Amino acid sequence: MLKLLSIFLLLSIPLFGTDTLEVGKNHQLTSVQQAIKAAQPGAIIRIWPGHYQEGQIVVDKPVFLLGHQYPVLEGSDGSGVLLVTSDSVYISGLQIQNVATSYTEDRAGIKLDNVKGCVVTNNKLLNCFFGIYLQKSTHCQISNNQVIGEAAQEMSSGNAIHLWYCKNVKIEQNLVSHHRDGLYLEFVDNSAIAGNTSSQNLRYGLHFMFSNDNSYTGNRFETNGAGVAVMFSRNIKMTSNEFLNNWGTASYGLLLKEIYGGEITNNLFANNTTGIYAESANRLKIHNNDMKGNGWALKILGSCMDNTFTGNNFFTNTFDLTTNSIEDHNTYVGNYWSSYTGYDLDHNGYGDIPHRPVTMYSYLVGRIDVSILLLRSLFIDILNFAEKVTPLFVPKSLVDPEPLMSPRI
C-alpha cells in the first residue's frame, strides 16, 4: 500500500502544478536547507551531484528529496544529517555519510521524529553512528537502502536501522552491516521486516524488544555476533529466513527470551554455534525448518512450554537438541533426525521406534563445558548407548514418537 501511495503521489504532483526546485553548484539554490525553506508543501527538490556539508538539515514540510547520481550529504559539527519532522516526506537517491559517535544523543544519517507516511528508499548511508532512526512514527517505509558502518566496539556504535515506539512500518530489501545491531526494534508493533540482508554486525543482525504482532520474512542474517534476538514480545511470525554462520562462544542463529505465541517456519539454520536458543518461550509453532551443521541445533530450556516441533530436518548437527531440565513440556513429532538409527518395517515413512534426540553427552556438556573435549570418543558412544537403553538423566518424555525416515522436502 505504501509503495502504491508513493507512486501515486509522484505521478499526481505535476497535475497540480507542484514546484520543482533544483539544488547544485550550477543552480540558483546551492543549499538543501535553503531549498526546503523555499519549497511549498508537496514540492520536488532535485539535488544534483556534489558535496553538501550543511550541519543538520531539518525537513519540516512534506517534500520529495530526490538525489541525482547520489549527491553526498555529510555531517558536520558532530550533528546528524537529515532530521524529518513533517509527515509525508519522500527521500531517495542520496549518499549520507560521516555522522560522528555520541554518548549523549542518538545522531543519525536520517532521523524521522514523530511523523507518519514517510518513505526512505534507495539511499546509501556510510559511516553513520545510527543510519536510519525512527521514533514515535507510523505508516513509514524503509526500503532498498545500503547502510554500511565502521563499528569497532558495541559501546561506541549505533544501529543501522533503529525503531523506537513505532507502528505499521515496513522495512524491506535493505543491506545493513558493520553496526552494533543491523535492525533494532523496541516497542514496535504491527510491522513487517522482509527481504533484508544483515551481516557482520557486532551484536545482532536483528533485535526485537517489547515488540508485538510483527513479522520477518525472507531475510538473511549472516556472520553477526548473533543472528536474531526476540525478547519480551508476543505473536512474532518468522518465516523463510536464513540464519548463517553466526559463530562464537555465545552466538545463536535465533535467541528467544520471554516470548509468547508466534510461528517459526521454513527457515534455514546453518553453521551456527546454536541454531535456536529458547528461554521462557511459550506456545510457538516451530515447523518445517532446516537445521544443518550447527553446534547445537536446539537449546530449549526447561522454562519453555507448549511449543510444537514438527516437520523439521536435523542434518549433521553436533548436537540436535539439549535442555537443562529433567522435565519437558513441549511436543516433538514427525521430524527428520539424521542421527536416528531406527527402522521402518511397515514402510509408512515413520520410524517404528521413538527417537530420543537428547543424548547423555549433550546433557553432560550443558552442565560441564570442558566435557566437550571428549567429543567423538569411544567412552561417549558407550555412555550415550547406555542412556538410550535405560534413560536416567535425560528427559524421559522428550521423544519424537514418529521420526521421519527421510528428510522433508
Q: Kindly report the CA angle at 171 between 92 and 185, in degrees rounded to 5?
A: 125
At 9, the pLDDT band (50, 70, 90 cuts) reads: very low
Residue 252, strand partner residues: 274
What does the domain layout of the chain look like in residue ranges?
1-224, 238-358+394-409
Summarised one tens digit per residue, pLDDT across range 130-161 is 999 999 999 999 999 999 999 988 888 999 99
Q: Which long-range contacts (CB under 8 A, 24 or more apart) does 281-285 make?
A: 281/256, 281/257, 281/307, 282/306, 282/307, 283/307, 284/256, 284/259, 284/308, 285/310
Write out the H or E segment, with its range, that includes residue 365.
helix 360-365
Residue 369, pLDDT score: 58
pLDDT at position 132 is: 98
Predicted local confidence at residue 379, as pLDDT: 43
Angle at the Cα of 107 (from 188 to 43), degrees rounded to 5?
A: 80
**Is the confidence at residue 13, as pLDDT, over 70?**
no
State the average pLDDT over residues 239-246. Answer: 96
CA distance 90 to 44: 9
- In this structure, what are the phi and psi dihedrals at residue 341, rounded to the nearest 5 degrees? -115, 15
Q: Do residues 289 and 269 touch, judged by C-beta distance below 8 A? A: yes
* Mean of pLDDT over the chain: 89
Please state, in angstroms and rounded to a whole number, the distance separating the CA atoms of residues 58 and 212: 31
What number does CATH give the domain 1-224?
Answer: 2.160.20.10
Model confidence pLDDT, tens digit, residues 54-96: 999 999 999 999 999 999 999 877 789 999 999 999 999 999 9
For residue 324, name the pLDDT band (cuts at 50, 70, 90).
confident
